Amino acid sequence: MQAPNPFAGTRFLLSAAQLTQLPADTLPEVAFVGRSNAGKSSALNLICAHKQLARVSKTPGRTQLINLFGVPLERAAAGDTPDAIAGRLVDLPGYGFADVPQAVRRNWGLLVGGYVEKRANLRGLIVLMDIRHPLTDLDWQMLRWSGARNLPCHVLLTKDDKLGHGAAQAALLGVRAQLREAGSAVTVQRFSAHTRAGADHARAVVAGWLGLAGVPASAG
Ligand SMILES: Nc1nc2c(ncn2[C@@H]2O[C@H](COP(=O)(O)OP(=O)(O)OP(=O)(O)O)[C@@H](O)[C@H]2O)c(=O)[nH]1
Ligand SMILES: [Mg+2]
């Protein structure tokens, strides 16, 4: 029998346009970040097995909000408070889209940079990159921000279904080699929200970081 998905029942909590609007930093958080259109929302939805949890967009980069989702506490632990949450998943605004005013770019840097560098309860960062266009300048920037505070970081190479197996595997090895060369300890996997390839592993990494029951903390 398949183990129950620890993210079942995850629900939308709130959107924050500024860091001051974030809830108190008492619960563990895992954030999803990446180039706009990389597949962040699709990955979040697949991990939570909830098709419409995070909005999948046709027009990339329009919203500059931090969206937070609550992962429910296991029923046994929640006891009399069935709405209690164990941690949060955080969908950060995407980067790298063309045609946005300088002010929007600056705001993105303040919002996402501030969150990734300073959020005390952030346990790990999932960085999503289209497997056909990995490691852009802003991807490296994200990896530097997380590296600067020794934050665990795991890369999902998304839209794996767009490449044949050989090309996808070559892309994976190429990204791993570049990270190794840069002295980075970041882990990488292939992922597809369409075929669900890599979903179980990604879920285990996130669950491990959040300390959810039954998942080894070192997953990944
Ligand atoms: N083929 C394929 N398409 C995907 C996959 N994941 C996402 N997409 C498509 O890519 C587009 C963007 O997906 P989103 O999940 O909205 O990406 P996002 O990173 O959240 O985008 P923004 O929130 O705008 O930054 C949508 O049209 C998705 O259907 C995948 O694994 N395979
Ligand atoms: Mg999105």
Centre of ligand 1 to C-alpha 98, Å, is 17
Tally Cβ neighbours within 10 Å of residue 164.
9
Does any ligand 1 atom lie closer than 6 A to the CB of residue 141? no
- Cα separation, 79 vs 67, in Å, equals 27
Nearest ligand by distance to the CA of 193 = 1
pLDDT tens-place string over residues 117-148: 999 999 999 999 999 999 999 999 999 999 99
Q: What is the pLDDT of residues 49-70, one digit of tens each?
A: 998 888 776 555 556 899 999 9
Please report, in tens digits, the pLDDT of each residue of the chain (220 residues total).
667 899 999 999 999 999 999 999 999 999 999 998 999 999 999 999 998 888 776 555 556 899 999 999 986 676 777 788 999 999 999 988 777 788 888 888 999 999 999 999 999 999 999 999 999 999 999 999 999 999 999 999 999 999 999 999 999 999 999 999 999 989 999 999 999 999 999 999 999 999 996 554 444 4
Reduced 3-state DSSP string for 85-142: EEEEEEECCCECCCCCCHHHHHHHHHHHHHHHHHCCCEEEEEEEEECCCCCCHHHHHH
Select the CATH number that applies to the domain covering 11-210 from these four: 3.40.120.10, 3.30.70.270, 3.10.20.30, 3.40.50.300. Answer: 3.40.50.300
Q: Which ligand neighbours the alpha carbon of 37 most closely? A: 1
Report how far ligand 2's centroid is from the alpha carbon of 147 (Å).
24
- Ramachandran angles phi, psi of 8, nearest 5°: -60, 135
| Beta strands 187-190; 85-91: pairing state | unpaired
In contact, 172 and 144? CB cutoff 8 Å: no
Pocket test for ligand 1, best of 56, 112, 163 (most atoms within 8 A of CB): 56
6 ligand 1 Cβ < 6 A: no
CA of 161 to the centre of ligand 1 (A): 12
Q: What is the pTM of this model?
A: 0.93
Helices (H) and strands (E) in the chain, counts: 7, 7
Cβ contact 19:122 at 8 Å: no
Domain boundaries, the chain: 11-210
